[in-house]
C-alpha cells in the first residue's frame, strides 16, 4: 500500500492513547488541543516511543505489530521526520546538514540526491552557510530536504511552521504541498492552526484526550454542528 495505517494504544501516567486511522498518498493533519496525543503518535510511528500495543503499516510493510512481535528500530523505518525545533546541527553547513539524512547510502548517490533537493528547495547559494547564518524559513527548507534525502515512505512533520510569520508559513506550506503531491508521499502534519489545516490537508484526523473523535475532509472534520461547542 502507498499509504499509512496506524493503530496505537498506550497507557501513561495520567494519560491514555487509543487511536486508529489510515491514509493514502495524502497530506493528513493531526489536529486538536495540546496534550491530545498528536506528537506522541508521530514519535510512535517513527519508533522513538513505544506503545503498549499497536500496529503501524507503511509501503514496505509493518513497521510495528506488537501481536507479531515486530518492532523495527527507528533507523530501519523508512520515515522522514521534521521536528518542531528542526534539530539542525549548528556547527554543520547547509550541505552537511542535508547529507546527514543520508547515512547508509553510497556517497555518490547521497551527494546526487542532496544536490537535487538543495536545488528543489532553493538552497543552492546557501550550501556553505551554517544554520545560524540563514533565515528561519531557509532553515525549514534545510530540514525538509534532510528528511527527504532517503526517499522515505512516510513524512512526519511536528508543527514545522510554528515559529514563522504568516506570509512565510503560507509560502512554505504551498511548497510542502507541491513536493508532497509530486512525490505521492503519505505525509502527517501536526498543527494547532485551523487555517493551516484547512489550507494544506487532504484529510484531518481530529484528536481529543488521546482519542480520534473525527476524520474527514478539512471542512467535515473541523466543522462544529449548530448548537455545539468546540469539538
Q: What is the pLDDT of residues 12-39, one digit of tens each?
A: 999 999 999 999 999 999 999 999 999 9
Burial of 210 (0-12, 13-18, 19+ CB in 10 A): buried
What is the residue-wise DSSP string for 152-210? -SEEEEESTTTTS-HHHHHHHHHHHHHHHHHHT--EEEEES-HHHHHHH-SEEEEEETT
DSSP summary character for residue 9: E
Residue 46 lies in a domain: no
What whole-number distance in Å separates Cα of residue 111 and Cα of residue 132? 23
Label residue 164 by pLDDT band (50, 70, 90). Answer: confident
The answer to whether 16 and 30 are in contact (CB under 8 A) is no
Q: Which of 66-75, 78-87, 142-151 has the lowest mean pLDDT?
A: 78-87
Domains identified in the chain, total number: 1
Residue 105 lies in a domain: yes
Q: What digits encode the pLDDT tens for the residues 94-141? A: 999 999 998 888 999 999 999 999 999 999 999 999 999 999 999 999
Residue 16 lies in a domain: no
Residue 74 lies in a domain: no
Label residue 224 by pLDDT band (50, 70, 90). Answer: low
Residue 22 lies in a domain: no
Residue 98 lies in a domain: yes
The pLDDT score that the predictor gives to residue 6 is 98
Residue 188 lies in a domain: no
What whole-number distance in Å separates Cα of residue 27 and Cα of residue 202? 5
The answer to whether 7 and 19 are in contact (CB under 8 A) is yes
What percentage of the chain has pLDDT greater than the value 90? 84
Domain that includes residue 147, residue range: 89-151
Grid cell for residue 8? 496505537
What whole-number distance in Å separates Cα of residue 157 and Cα of residue 174? 15
What's the pTM?
Answer: 0.91
Look at the chain and count its residues: 231
Q: Is the pLDDT of residue 227 over 50?
A: no
**Sign of the C-alpha dihedral computed for residues 167, 169, 172 and 177 taken in this order:** negative
Residue 9 lies in a domain: no
Mean pLDDT of the chain: 92
The pLDDT score that the predictor gives to residue 179 is 93
What does the longest C-alpha to C-alpha distance in the chain come to? 60
What whole-number distance in Å separates Cα of residue 24 and Cα of residue 32? 21
Amino acid at each position: 500500500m502507498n499509504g499509512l495505517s496506524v493503530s496505537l494504544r498506550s497507557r501513561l501516567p495520567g494519560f491514555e492513547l487509543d487511536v486508529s486511522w489510515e491514509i493514502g498518498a495524502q497530506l493528513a493533519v493531526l489536529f486538536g488541543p495540546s496534550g491530545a496525543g498528536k506528537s506522541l503518535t508521530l514519535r510512535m510511528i517513527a519508533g522513538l516511543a513505544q506503545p503498549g500495543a499497536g500496529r503501524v503499516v507503511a509501503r514496505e510493510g509493518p513497521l510495528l505489530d506488537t501481536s507479531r512481535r515486530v518492532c523495527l528500530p527507528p533507523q530501519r523505518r523508512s520515515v522522514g521526520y521534521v521536528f518542531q525545533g528542526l534539530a539542525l546541527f549548528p556547527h554543520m553547513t547547509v550541505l552537511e546538514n542535508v547529507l546527514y539524512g543520508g547515512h547508509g547510502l553510497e556517497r555518490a548517490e547521497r551527494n546526487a540526491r542532496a544536490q537535487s533537493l538543495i536545488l528543489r528547495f532553493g538552497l543552492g547559494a546557501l550550501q556553505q552557510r551554517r544554520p545560524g547564518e540563514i533565515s528561519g524559513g531557509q532553515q525549514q527548507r534545510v530540514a525538509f530536504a534532510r528528511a527527504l534525502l532517503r526517499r522515505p515512505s512516510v513524512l512526519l512533520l511536528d508543527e514545522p511552521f510554528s515559529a514563522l510569520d504568516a506570509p512565510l508559513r503560507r509560502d512554505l506550506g504551498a511548497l510542502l504541498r507541491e513536493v508532497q503531491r509530486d512525490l505521492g508521499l503519505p505525509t502527517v502534519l501536526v498543527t494547532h492552526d485551523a487555517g493551516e489545516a484547512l489550507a494544506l490537508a487532504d484529510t484531518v484526523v481530529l484528536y481529543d484526550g488521546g482519542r480520534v473523535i473525527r476524520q474527514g475532509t478539512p471542512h467535515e472534520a473541523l466543522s462544529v454542528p449548530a448548537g455545539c461547542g468546540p469539538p
